[in-house]
Structure 1
């Protein structure tokens, strides 16, 4: 009994399906008859109402598994859509002509028709009617012009009335910029870019005044001006796609076309407020062979420019030597030109619509930075014999300038890369089909990559800069040491006593040559190096000199009280002041020398007591027993940097102390 009921239920359900199937067919047939009758009597409003019913019927069965029924309804929709469009389109085109559309140069001065009010009213009615002829999504991409871009970018179809409004401009565009016309020239892409911008400018007022109010009446969010620009931009995209196969064989022509496309896109978006999320001609340029060619050309031209920069006779001369404020960095011409070149490349790829294309240009910039560094190293090696000369220091200034600019860019690139925005990044990641875990890992990697994008190249330039500063410091230090032998060999034990020196105390004669060389080097390097570099140089030089005077002069000699006084005078009144121009407390950079002079010139009584404390410290069983006291004792005397052992050794160099 139950089986029999189930069988009957199934049969009833099956009959219901057949009934629904036949009902749909009946409705389609009924609507078709009504449409036919309306079109025969040339009553467009009932026809549009019937067509709307047909669309609603299609949407109601869109999820049905009856594929043949769906196909039949789709075909019926397309059939009647084409018929209604053709009927209305012809009349709409005539009305537009009467309204002086399109607005082109030849028609700007023509007189206004006497019945312009009636014509405008008719145009408004027809425009609203045609908005109802916009097909839903499944029908939208049958048009060839959308299929062309299918693999490049998704292009939502234009509103149907806008398609008709663009037809005369499309015909004009194809007439002038295709085929054997003088205006169709591969080396003059600016002609069609300019024409499109002119059309946008000329039609702006008509669209705002006559069409946009109609859209508002329909409670639609459609921006007619943007829709108009979308249609014209598609013409440009088609033209670029058409020309690219020929352009690929000529570097200069394709480079020129790319330049013009970038300027066109910029003007379109900045001057005419074309939305940044709308597809543009740059979508065509970042796909396939044309983008590969673009990268190759960009690198080729950039390398050629680098060659020209570095071979210029003024390559290492500062462009701003007469401008005091800017001259502080002493930027050589080639370094400034190179960073300007990189900035130009950045400006070119900033508007690119995909993250992958921007990242490839970023990679190109990193390659160019490495190329420039290698070239600079090769040039620098030719001047290593004179690291204090104009050429070597100019190269050092250039390297420092590149580093400083890259540090600024490291922050800007993060902002730039996120101008890719979350929408682009999200779709990019989505296309990778990442798992949830992989998604978070990718995001972390992406953020890390952005924040450290220039880290490796900055590290290489920093290494080069430090090596060059080291060469400068070593050269100056060696020159000073070469002139220091008489001073090192002074008989510090045999100098007159402190009392005798008080009236005649002055710079040691043996130190004059050495300090003069130091002063000359500092003056020259101050002139040749940028301020930040010079600060690094003199600070490193003080470290070298501090060690040199400690090891080669102080710890290598013995001193009577006169010798100690003379040494202190030479150091505190002559050596330290040489650096007083660059810092308020130059003695802080010669701590060990300063403290050694303090110990050598201590009054004998204090020196003996200190020596005893140091000796007792050495004999103490517990190494920590008096450590704090000794440090405190030395500190009270102004000795903070020298360790107790070195302090004791310096005291042992005094001839006036009996050191056991």
Structure 2
């Protein structure tokens, strides 16, 4: 078994063990195995001897066959050489004959072409003769179809011109005859239809069969392509309607021209709703008939490019669009003569056109209406923007001139309307004004036009902010003069306007415009780059950290619009996916005063810009920030006005002898007499102002007032007074039991809120035990060097580290405790006062 691999050895051993078996006492099977292997050995040796004997004979026969094949190949080569010689000789002898035959075959082909050329003329003449004698419309249409097929086949040369002329000639004849028959039959079916007639008297079957045949004939004799290319088109129509639709539109065009052009009363240019309403009525009355009786004919003829209903509706819309274009142009000419208020008439026409477009979508279930293209022409669109701006500014002035603009929207309705009780009528009117403008321009198909209206909205919001700022300035002067200006209404108006704009900025409409504006700016920058810059599509990192695809130089404006829509949809999807988490957070803080608690916990920083920066305002980012600044300025002004009276009446409280008060038990303590009146007046004014403000604004106002009171009492009372034990207890009672609850949100535990942090920290310092106070005082007196000492090396260092006030102020408060005075003599302490 030498030379075998391990696997082969294992296989042989396994086979032998299997044949012998497990019984070592019975080895008879080994004899059988030995005899079988011996026979196989003999068989293999015999085969090997046989092969050795046959190899010499097979080798010699193979050599003989190879020699014979090589001789045969040589013979074939000699024959091929002789054959080539014979072929060359034959070609030389037959070359003159082949040349003569080529000439004759060429002449015969030319004669055949001439014969086919003459036959085509003869066929045209034959077809024309048959059509002159034929009286059957069906047969005429078939014959004309053959002529038109020949016209499409032969397009060049004199023959093409000849057949084209005949095609046009017979087309005009057939068109005139079939149109005449069609119009006569339309009178039978009482076209144009009326709604009542179509419902009450169904047409007979034979009448409709004839109408179907005539319609099929008209479809089959459609104008040749060169005629279609030269036909004039309407100002708003992209393609010409098919011949049957054109004939169906003729009586309606006549009626339209009769009623709405010329000097008739129904053609008044200040009443565009008349012809728009009539156009819509005709579409409603006739589109079902066209769909059920004309479109099936085109489908049977496999004219897939024909949409009969759309062609019919487009033809009627083109009439209205052409008349609208004329009316808008007439406003300038007649308005200059003093006969018509141009702006009012133009605004009325725009409103009626947009209303017509909305109703048309409902009726036709097709959003592609060419009526809007009249409004988006350059001159008309510029005038539209100017009129919108003019009337919006006038409306804004009327809003603020109205005495009711400061009243709540839900005034007199009751508490059922909830949050609407604080929204001023003026702010609601202004938001409605912006929404009305959006409803008018939202239907425009081009994002560039919608973007210009967005710029107009931003301009109006800025004008609204400027007017509110002017009112705020006037309110500040009136406050200083002792009046009662509508300051809460101004703050609520700014807050409500901003809240609505932030909500709109997250809608799909404004997100698309926002991204389109940003993408368009990138597109413009790409167009101004040098040609050496490679046109690759990268990404632009936005302010919020997300990446936005960059515009490639090869992208068109339509592709920019598509990319803007995709980005807007992705943003809406992202916000929708994050909505459940937001709703869960809102459920945890489901009361109105949750905002109060959050602001109260951060009372030391009442600036609201951080909160405003967290919101992505999109298209309204700039104006939203300005409105937030106006809102905060109004709140600051209101808080300052309320706190001035408190500061003026708190003088007696500041002059109290805190160093000489009698120590009283906590249960016997009550609010200081000098604080009772000012605090009650402050709470009354705060409650009155909070009721007039939005709940979030009321929370901000409480935060501002609390900060003012905290800072004023801390600086004027705590830092300027000496305190004995009785004074400390009284101040602590005033702060924790009276001042803190005064600024705490309703239904909340005031002790758990971080309100008036300076005063509460000062009270904690004043209430320290004598030993602790002395150790803290020693640690603070050593300054920052004590912070580098090891823990426990400086007594009172750990307790001093928990004080949040500045070290100098904390040390000053401790030194003003009478029990910590450096001079133990009470008489000396009294001399200080």
2:702 matched residue in structure 1? 538
Specify whether residues 399 and 110 from structure 1 end up closer, same or farther in structure 2 by C-alpha distance, changes over 3 A only.
closer
Aligned partner (choices 329, 339, 346) of residue 438 of structure 2: 346
Give 1:310 deviation, angstroms.
Answer: 1.5
Aligned partner (choices 123, 131, 138) of residue 38 of structure 1: 131
1:239 matched residue in structure 2? 323
1:377 matched residue in structure 2? 469
Q: Could you give the per-residue CA deviations for residues 148-201 of structure 1, whole angstroms, max 9, x where no partner exists?
A: 42xxx5512212211111111111111111123222221222221222222222
Specify whether residues 254 and 621 from structure 1 end up closer, same or farther in structure 2 by C-alpha distance, changes over 3 A only.
closer
Aligned partner (choices 523, 526, 539) of residue 690 of structure 2: 526
1:477 matched residue in structure 2? 643
Q: Could you give the per-residue CA deviations for residues 449-470 of structure 1, whole angstroms, max 9, x where no partner exists?
A: 9973222222222221111111
TM-score by length of 1: 0.82
CA contact (8 A) 2:475 2:485 kept: no
Give 1:289 deviation, angstroms.
Answer: 2.6
Specify whether residues 22 and 374 from structure 1 end up closer, same or farther in structure 2 by C-alpha distance, changes over 3 A only.
farther
Q: Tell me the SS of whatever aligns to 1:517.
A: helix
Cα separation, 1, equivalents of 2:683 and 2:388: 48
Give 1:85 deviation, angstroms.
Answer: 2.1
1:458 matched residue in structure 2? 624
Cα separation, 1, equivalents of 2:684 and 2:743: 12
Q: Tell me the SS of whatever aligns to 1:128.
A: helix
CA contact (8 A) 2:642 2:686 kept: no
Specify whether residues 650 and 223 from structure 1 end up closer, same or farther in structure 2 by C-alpha distance, changes over 3 A only.
farther
Q: Could you give the per-residue CA deviations for residues 600-658 of structure 1, whole angstroms, max 9, x where no partner exists?
A: 112223333444454566443837978999886468xxx56435555444333322235
Q: Confirm or deny that 1:164 pairs with 2:328.
A: no
1:406-485 alignment runs, 5 A limit: 406-412=501-507, 414-415=509-510, 417=512, 437-438=552-553, 443=560, 452-485=618-651
Q: Tell me the SS of whatever aligns to 1:353.
A: coil
The higher-RCO structure (CA 8 Å, 6+ apart) is 1
Specify whether residues 83 and 440 from structure 1 end up closer, same or farther in structure 2 by C-alpha distance, changes over 3 A only.
same
Q: Tell me the SS of whatever aligns to 1:556.
A: coil
Give 1:578 deviation, angstroms.
Answer: 0.7
CA contact (8 A) 1:352 1:358 kept: yes
1:655 matched residue in structure 2? 818
Aligned partner (choices 387, 412, 427) of residue 322 of structure 1: 412
Q: Tell me the SS of whatever aligns to 1:229.
A: helix
1:588-603 alignment runs, 5 A limit: 588-603=754-769
- Larger CA deviation: 164-173 vs 252-261: 252-261
1:395 matched residue in structure 2? 490
Cα separation, 1, equivalents of 2:798 and 2:115: 108
CA contact (8 A) 2:487 2:638 kept: no
Specify whether residues 229 and 539 from structure 1 end up closer, same or farther in structure 2 by C-alpha distance, changes over 3 A only.
same
Cα separation, 2, equivalents of 1:485 and 1:479: 11
2:205 matched residue in structure 1? 117
Specify whether residues 77 and 401 from structure 1 end up closer, same or farther in structure 2 by C-alpha distance, changes over 3 A only.
farther
Could you say what the CA RMSD is over the residues aligned between the two structures, in angstroms?
4.2
CA contact (8 A) 2:422 2:694 kept: yes
Give 1:530 deviation, angstroms.
Answer: 2.0
Specify whether residues 362 and 502 from structure 1 end up closer, same or farther in structure 2 by C-alpha distance, changes over 3 A only.
closer
TM-score by length of 2: 0.66
Which blocks of at least 5 consecutive residues in structure 2 are unaligned?
A: 1-104, 530-534, 536-550, 572-616, 824-833
1:289 matched residue in structure 2? 379
Give 1:581 deviation, angstroms.
Answer: 3.7
Give 1:360 deviation, angstroms.
Answer: 2.3
Give 1:486 deviation, angstroms.
Answer: 1.7
Aligned partner (choices 355, 359, 365) of residue 267 of structure 1: 359
2:771 matched residue in structure 1? 605
1:181 matched residue in structure 2? 264
- Larger CA deviation: 602-611 vs 191-200: 602-611
Give 1:243 deviation, angstroms.
Answer: 2.4
Cα separation, 1, equivalents of 2:676 and 2:803: 30
Specify whether residues 575 and 634 from structure 1 end up closer, same or farther in structure 2 by C-alpha distance, changes over 3 A only.
same
CA contact (8 A) 2:237 2:370 kept: no
Q: Could you give the per-residue CA deviations for residues 415-448 of structure 1, whole angstroms, max 9, x where no partner exists?
A: 57469999xx9xx99xx99986346698499789
Cα separation, 2, equivalents of 1:98 and 1:411: 58
CA contact (8 A) 1:31 1:50 kept: no
1:73-88 alignment runs, 5 A limit: 78-88=168-178
2:96 matched residue in structure 1? none
2:345 matched residue in structure 1? 253
Larger Rg, first or second structure (1 or 2): 2
Q: Could you give the per-residue CA deviations for residues 382-402 of structure 1, whole angstroms, max 9, x where no partner exists?
A: 221355935122122112111
Give 1:77 deviation, angstroms.
Answer: 5.3
Specify whether residues 141 and 314 from structure 1 end up closer, same or farther in structure 2 by C-alpha distance, changes over 3 A only.
farther
Q: For this pair of structures, how many residues does the alignment match?
A: 626
1:4 matched residue in structure 2? none
Aligned partner (choices 655, 674, 680) of residue 510 of structure 1: 674
- Larger CA deviation: 202-211 vs 611-620: 611-620
Specify whether residues 502 and 159 from structure 1 end up closer, same or farther in structure 2 by C-alpha distance, changes over 3 A only.
same
Specify whether residues 165 and 654 from structure 1 end up closer, same or farther in structure 2 by C-alpha distance, changes over 3 A only.
same
Q: Tell me the SS of whatever aligns to 1:315.
A: helix
Cα separation, 1, equivalents of 2:143 and 2:744: 95
2:545 matched residue in structure 1? none
Specify whether residues 92 and 477 from structure 1 end up closer, same or farther in structure 2 by C-alpha distance, changes over 3 A only.
same
Cα separation, 2, equivalents of 1:410 and 1:260: 28
CA contact (8 A) 1:542 1:589 kept: yes
Cα separation, 2, equivalents of 1:525 and 1:19: 106
Aligned partner (choices 216, 228, 234) of residue 140 of structure 1: 228
Cα separation, 1, equivalents of 2:376 and 2:792: 75
Q: Tell me the SS of whatever aligns to 1:506.
A: coil
Q: Could you give the per-residue CA deviations for residues 223-267 of structure 1, whole angstroms, max 9, x where no partner exists?
A: 443332111111111211232221232323332222221211111
